[in-house]
Every structure is written in C-alpha cells, then in structure tokens.
Amino acid sequence: MTRLFRGVFIVWVLLRFGLDVLLLDSFNQPGLKWLARRFAWGRNLSAPRGQRIREALESLGPIFIKLGQVLSTRRDLMPLDIADELAKLQDAVPPFDADVAAAAIEKALGRPISAVFTSFEREPVASASVAQVHFAVLVDRDGREREVAVKVLRPNMLAVIDKDLALMRMMAGWLEWLSTDGRRLKPRQVVAEFDKYLHDELDLVREASSATQLRRNMQGLGLVLIPEMLWDYCSTNVLVMERMHGVPISQVERLRSAGVDIPRLARDGVTIFFTQVFRDGFFHADMHPGNIQVSLDPHSFGRYISLDFGIVGSLTEVDKEYLAQNFVAFFRRDYKRVAELHVESGWVPADTRIDELEAAVRAVCEPYFDRPLKEISLGMVLMRLFQTSRRFHVEIQPQLVLLQKTLLNIEGLGRQLDPDLDLWATAKPFLEQWMKDQIGPKRLWNELKAQSPRYAKLLPELPGLLHTYLQRGGRAEPDPQSQQLFHHLLSEQRRTNRLLQALLYMAVGFVIGTLGVAVMVWLRFL
C-alpha cells in the first residue's frame, strides 16, 4: 500500500510540473503536439522547462535529485537550458531549517553549539539531497582555532529513501518478469547495490572513514587535497571536518583568469580517477562538479579538492585485473583480446564465437579512436555496447554500476574543462604501467613481502605435522583439523617454492644477460 501511495505521488508531481506535456511535445508527430496542448489546459506551466524539471526532482526526494545531478554533467546529451538548471541540484537544493540543523548538531555532540564552536554560521554554505553544510570555528586539543565545515543530515531521510527503494525493487521485479532481457540485466541486483550505497551515505561515520582512507591513499600523488576528519566531533548524523578553500571546478573562466592550467587540470583528473580505480581499488563515486573544487593557495595551487565522500566504490583484485586488461586491449585496438576476456570471465556464454564478438566490439569502438573528447560521447559508446551485449547475452555486472556512473561523470567533467583532451592517450600509459607492475618482478617481490609473516608462522610446524602424518599413514586417519592444516601447509609450501623458483629463474636470466652484454662489449674492443 505504501508503494502504491508513493507511485501515485510520483505521478501527481510529474503532472503538477507538466512533465507529461514536455514529453509529448518532444515528439515530432503533429498529433502528439496537439495532445500536449490539450493536456496543458488548466495548469500554470509558464515556468521554463528546465526549472520545472528541477523543481519536480526536488519534490520527489534524494534519489531523484541524484538522478538530476548525474544528468547535469551530461551536457552532450541534455539541452543546455536543462543542464544549467539541473546543475543547481549539485549544491543548491533548498536547505532545511537552521534551528532543526542546530538541534541535531547539539544532540549529536552532547553540548550546546556555543560550547563547541567559537563561531557558527547558521546560513548553510551548501545544501544537497542528503545533507547540508555550515561553516564554523572551533578550538582543537592543542588550543588552536581551526576553521571547520559541519555536515548534518536532513531529518527523516531514511523513511523517504526506503519508500523509493521499495518502489524500485517492485519495478525491478516486474522488469525481470515481463522482459526477455530481465535476467541478463539483473535489475534487482542493481537496485540492491544502489540500496547499499544510499544507506551507507546516511552514516556519516562511514563517510568520515572513507574520506580518511582516500586521504591516505592520495597523499603521495600530489594532485588532490582531501579534508581531515575531526573524529572527536563525528557521529552518524553529524560530521565535522577541516574547511577547504577553493574555487568550484564549474567556474572555469575564473580558474583560467587566476592562472590555472586548464588542460593540465583535465589530465590530472583522469590520472586521479585511474589511480583510485586501478591502483587502490577504492574510488570517489560521486564526482559531480558540486563536490570538486580547485585550490588557488600558493602552496597547493592548481590541485583538486575533493568533497563529500558519502558514495565510494571498491573493486576486488579480480575486477581490477579484468578491467585493466580490457582497457589495455581496447587502447591497443586488440578487439580479439577484448572478446576473449569476456568469454574467460564468464560474462558471455562459453560457446560464443570469438570472431563475431570481436567484429561487433570493433564496430562500436573503432569510430571513436584518435578523436578529441568533444567529438566522443561515452554515453553513446555505452549505449551501443549495451545493444551489442544484448545480442551476445552479456550478463550485467552490478558491482560495476558505480564505476560506469563515475566514468560518465569524469567524461562530463573532462568535456567541461578541455574538450580537446585525448582521453585514450592520457589513460593508456597509466594502464600499461599498471599492467607491468601487476605481472612483473615488482608484483612478485611485493607478494613475497606480504606473505612472509604467514610463511614464518606456518613453516616451522611443517616437519612435525609431516612426521605425525607419516606415522599415522597405515593405521589411522589424522583428525580432520590436523589434516586440513597439513594440506594448507603443503599448498603454502608449494606456493613458496613456485615464488622462489621464479625469483631464481629471474636472477639466472639477469646474470646470463649481464654476461652476454659483457662478452659483446669485450668482443667489440678486440
């Protein structure tokens, strides 16, 4: 019944703001345009279409606001007047009452605001779909005054999100039942992934821990600043962090006039994204322009400033390796390898013809190579890839939905900064170096260092267990726990032997190569 009421409310909002009229009017058929004019009778639809769409999404709540945020970055797919209006959803959603925010902060911190902060700005500096931010000043443990940003959740967010998610789950079930592609698209699993990320976003302690992890990961890169979290003042619905000073990345002309190298900024953004995805497997997954600024401070001039870490994505080693191999094969135009990887990963049926899949991928991707970003639409590439995937029964991977969303955000950001950016040429060297690190001596050495504590603990027990196993061999079976440990130790020993053997071969190869070079030099001087 709750889902029914929510569905009725959504329809009512769409009719109230005349989105049905906009839809009918977008078709070229005269009959539909006439019907749109008839439907508009009795409703005040004088406001611009972009404003009506934005206000409708604001009325429908956080999930629809996030949809608008994503669409606002796609100026290649959206009319400019609509994209400009939707951009207001990034950090200009109508705020909730300052007294409610102050009460929530005092309850979370257990003290009056005046006892924690020496100053507190009641007017929020930013307001988004899930929370709003106030600037303040506090005295830290060392007695220093620190400028901070205080983030506080909107009230009753959980109930609103749960209603929309319940409706999405119901619609996903219908899609699986009614559509022949339902199982392949895995809509219920996709909604489950979305559910997890949205509920994670409602826990500000989780957001603070994600920000801390990203700050630690990015420390040596020198391209991005991430605010420090002040853990003494963090709770599930209130977060206090270091205040960052920067210019919103959407203000490109202001950045250019300040002397920021815009093309370099675009290349740095690609580097940051691929570093987070392929090196760390942990990435900022809500990278719309409202969450990104650029520093003009002399000590960090031209660096990115990342904000709002409510949605982060993570990848397993298997996902990272598979994606990296796909990207590298794609950049090398090795479409046969792309097709083989899809079969090896189980994403397509094992009996799929490699040559047919190769030809289909080539037809999608080849037209876009060697073109600047202004002539490419990843949205269109993904759409054509989805059409191809339907033909070859490719299974959708729900764990990669966030990555796809973030990739589209990155493309929209890059298009805004530098339309002449060659996305492929910028990313190719990074991924090739990453692949070398994964299969070369560096990976082998890192693996040995990481596993050495386990070997040090397990190997001394091996002789005793082996002796016990041999003694009992003809008379009784060892107990299951000892047998399991014994086999585990044997597998570890075999693994160690393989690693040591590989190192030995590499050392021998190095020595032989060195001797060969020395002999050639000696013969040259004879």
The pLDDT, as a whole number, for residue 366 is 80
Exposure string (b/e) for 106-140, b if CB count within 10 Å is 16 or more? Answer: bebbeeebeebbeebeeebebbbbbbbbbbbebee
Mean pLDDT per 10-residue section of the chain, whose length is 526 residues: 70 78 65 61 74 84 72 64 77 82 93 92 87 92 89 84 74 66 62 71 90 94 94 93 93 93 90 86 84 93 92 82 75 82 76 85 76 61 62 65 73 78 72 67 63 67 68 55 57 55 47 42 41
H or E element, residue 238: strand 238-242
To the question of pTM greater than 0.85 for the whole model, the response is: no
The pLDDT, as a whole number, for residue 514 is 41
Provide the residue ranges of all domains of the chain, joining segments of one domain with +.
Answer: 2-89, 158-198, 245-439, 441-525
Residue 54 neighbours by CB under 8 Å, 6+ apart: 68, 85, 86, 88, 89
- What whole-number distance in Å separates Cα of residue 404 and Cα of residue 402? 5
- What whole-number distance in Å separates Cα of residue 401 and Cα of residue 30? 38
Q: E strands within 68-157?
A: 117-120, 126-127, 131-139, 145-153
Catalytic: which of 268, 286, 308, 418?
286
Strand partners for 151: 133, 239
CB 105 within 8 A of CB 321: no
Q: How far is CA 271 from CA 107, 116, 523, in A?
A: 41, 39, 46
The pLDDT, as a whole number, for residue 525 is 41
Is residue 25 part of the annotated active site? The answer reads no
Residues in the chain: 526
| Count of Cβ atoms closer than 10 Å to residue 511 Cβ | 10
HEC profile for 25-53? HCCCCHHHHHHHHHHCCCCCCCCCHHHHH
